[in-house]
Amino acid sequence: MSRAALGLLFLATMLAGCGALDPYPTVPRAIQPGQPPGQRVAICYNTMKSSLAQVQTEAQQECAANTLAAPVDTDWYMQNCPLLLPARATFVCTAKK
């Protein structure tokens, strides 16, 4: 097999693996003016692959018991999330009513 064919095979394998990344917890963004206080959690995710329901479920798992994960912010700064999961959703865990 030629080098070009091996290179294309490697590239195809890498691109096929891009869809295998699931949302995961990361460091939340600092509180912004006007946002509610409380425990903050954040989730890195791919906006093309992950639904908002998946991201919300992942955030809820990070919140303490008897709280609800309420979305407050989404950003695409890549300091905390990798290229394949560039979006970071930040949630505040609020007490259940």
Contact 62, 25 (CB under 8 A): yes
Contact 40, 31 (CB under 8 A): yes
Average confidence score pLDDT of the chain? 85
Contact 86, 46 (CB under 8 A): yes
Res 3 pLDDT > 80: no
Global confidence as pTM: 0.75
Q: How many CB atoms lie within 10 A of CB 29?
A: 19
CA-based angle 18:22:27, to the nearest 5? 110
